[in-house]
Chain A
Amino acid sequence: MSEDTFEIGGRILSSRLFTGTGKYGDDSVIPDVCQASGSEVITVALRRVDLESATGNVMDFIPKHMQLLPNTSGARTADEAVRIARLARAMGCGDWIKIEVISDNRYLLPDGFETVKATEILAKEGFVVLPYVNADLYVAKALVDAGAAAVMPLGAPIGTNRGLKTREMVRILIEEIDLPIVVDAGIGRPSEACEAMEMGADAVLVNTAIATASDPVMMARAFGRAVRAGREAYLSGPGAKRVLADASSPLTGFLGGAA
């Protein structure tokens, strides 16, 4: 099989597993997680970045080859997301931005309307915008029109590890949206990441499931392998599911294959 890559914002990516930096008991594990997972894209909350810190900074632990994906965690409106994105760029975090607009601290569900607004503004300013949204076809279409570089539907609410609860909606996005689909949030086990990839998702983003595992490095490796397995299964064209058993002694064999 030739190298299976995909492109976001002009960058060719080999790994289809995006990772995160939140929730680790010790940030010094991040380089090992990156290596074990094979991930090339890592998200970081700008609210936690402190370039002038005397006490250590999460950025110090992100390997240089990684594509940094700062996120707008904490933004409650499009306006706040835009401001955070501009700050991220001004602080030297690059042009990629993951839009998170969450005005519901009870369930942490993303606000699609505000996300589209922020995407439109930031895409015009030259950002590579990866919006985190509900798995909603109309929001996804609006994001395409707004200039998003990918669409990141949730599998389940953030941090729940509940798996691919939005399976059918994500499947529709994969069929209908001509942008990379990155399943973000809710994936709790490697098998669920594998399932998303088997369905044809372009990538998955996993943070909580790795960061809160007893052995984050081993879990990162497991996710890396599961994502590759799922991708290969998708590319190999799995056989169709059947309602009835495929009889080894067909009842119409006497027709001599003329049917």
Chain B
Amino acid sequence: MSFHPLIAAYAEGLPDARFDDFTEQDVRRAMNRTTATAEDFMALMSPAASSLIEEMAQKASRLTVQHFGKTVSLFTPLYLANFCTNHCVYCGFNCTNSIHRSKLTLEEVDAEGAAIAATGLKNLLILTGDAPAKTGVDYLEACTRVLNRHFPSVSIEVFALTEEEYARLVRAGVDGMTMFQETYDEELYAVLHPKGPKRDYRFRLDAPERACRAGMRVVNIGALLGLGDWRRDALLTGLHAAYLMHEYPETDIAVSLPRMRPHVGDWEPATIVSDRDMVQFLMALRLFLPRVGITISTRENAEFRENILPLGVTRMSAGVSTAVGGHADGTGDEENTGQFDISDARGVDEVCAALRAKGYQPVFKDWEPIFETAGEGA
């Protein structure tokens, strides 16, 4: 199976121009459905929904509390390396950018893990650039085994892997994966990824499915909003999530809503996704998929993150550095090695205090590893 043929089918059935055809009545009908259809989701994403944004917010908030409670899971990324063989025009790791390249040794990974764990976080997302020769599956496996000493949950956000490679990492203790398609517009994708292994649109698009089949417990997808037409990318992100939920019901599907951020390089986003646009996407997604996890990263600023908290957010990053290393001794050179600039530089304690002030409980641990050896003979 693949979501690929469905993209064309959706494009035919739900062409871009139709966003403007929806009326307030269509939006109200969509809001009142027990189970929203793809057409309803499109109505909720349409300009007509703009005047009903408060009603959508009230319903999105109720659905989120009903299904997730007043809780937000916290995680932080750990950049293991920034070597990359890709030429993505919008990314600081682009191999033509002159930034300092490095890769953590296993001892450094352990030290970084210990430093992050000391903040109380139990859910770690490890990241690399796309350079299998330097940070291949063997390296990821070894890092995971080290990090599982500190974290019950270790997820990956790395280059697209084969199903067997995902299965190897599951066996090593990885329980989640994140894969951003960047843009679902295949023609634009080719322009944005002129060279490098990431140029293979289809291999990347099918990566989340391969991870599902490999037994990954949580699969998180997303589009980088601003690369192309945001409404089209948002729509296809939601439909991709719905497709995965239907095909792989045993996997927890989640969606991230990253917006373009400043980075090393001179490429400018094609479109500006406003705060209001982001909010509409977030709420439409919650109304379309009431049980989907929704992640908001530190690409967004603190004030905005707090304001959108009740609208559907279930997972947030905190205490973030996008530079390689730096958690253990504070020497990470964010400016010269980071993938992008973060907007919310608050530490874990500050994020927790802000969540609690809003009546939300920060959740640090939401998984108990059940490896082959765990619990045996208990």
Contact = CB atoms under 8 A, between A and B. Distances in A.
Is B truly associated with A? yes
B241 to A, nearest CB: 11
B352 interface: yes
Given A53-B120, A76-B250, A212-B70, A25 B365 contact: no
Given A76-B250, A84-B368, A87-B375, A106 B291 contact: yes
A104 B375 contact: no
A47 B249 contact: no
Interface in B266-324: 291
A19 interface: no
B133 to A, nearest CB: 35
B364 A105 contact: no
Given A50-B364, A106-B291, A208 B66 contact: yes
Contacts of B245: 105-106
A89 B378 contact: yes
A83 B370 contact: yes
Contacts of B368: 46-47, 49, 74, 84, 87
A218 B310 CA distance: 23
Nearest to A160: B66
Main secondary structure of the interface of B (DSSP, over half): loop
B3 interface: no
Contacts, number: 96
A55 B70 contact: no
Contact of A105 (B250, B362, B375): B250
Interface residues of B, number: 37
A25 B361 contact: yes
Interface in B35-79: 65-71
Nearest to B352: A55
Interface in B226-258: 245-246, 249-253
A232 interface: no
Contacts of B366: 47-48
Contact of A53 (B250, B365, B370): B365
Contacts of A108: 291
Contacts of A75: 370
A31 interface: no
Contacts of B365: 47-50, 53
A38 B117 CA distance: 38
Contacts of B67: 159
Contacts of B17: none
A23 B253 contact: no
A75 to B, nearest CB: 8
22 contacts: A25-B361, A26-B356, A26-B361, A50-B122, A50-B365, A54-B120, A55-B362, A74-B367, A76-B250, A87-B375, A90-B375, A90-B378, A103-B250, A105-B253, A105-B291, A106-B246, A106-B249, A106-B291, A208-B69, A212-B65, A212-B66, A212-B69
